[in-house]
Amino acid sequence: MTYRELTQKLRKRGCEFVRRAPGSHEIWWNPANQRFTTIVRHGRKDLPKGTLRAILRDLGISPEELRRS
């Protein structure tokens, strides 16, 4: 899954972009459970599976929930 695909699905789930962080990173917020995460912008490349799992864990979203988005 690319950065763009991920952020589109997160927006559908109600997550919000907060601000840019150092380098090519962004801070995102899940208001449903008040949790933050950092997402790296990889351009058009797929995010590594471990990175994607960590982002979802930080936001409190299961992979199944993301697939349904």
pTM: 0.90
Residue 67 domain-assigned (yes or no): no
pLDDT of residue 13: 94
pLDDT at position 3 over 90: yes
User: For position 15, which CATH number holds?
Assistant: 3.30.920.30
Using the CB atoms, write b or e for 12-43: b if 16+ within 10 Å: eeebeeeeeeeeeebebbbeeeeeebebeeee
Tell me the per-residue pLDDT of 9-61, one tens digit each, with 9 for 90 and over.
999 999 999 999 999 999 999 999 999 999 999 888 999 999 999 999 999 99
Range of the domain at 35: 3-62
Number of domains in the chain: 1
pLDDT of residue 41: 92
Residue 4 and residue 65: Cα distance in Å, rounded? 17
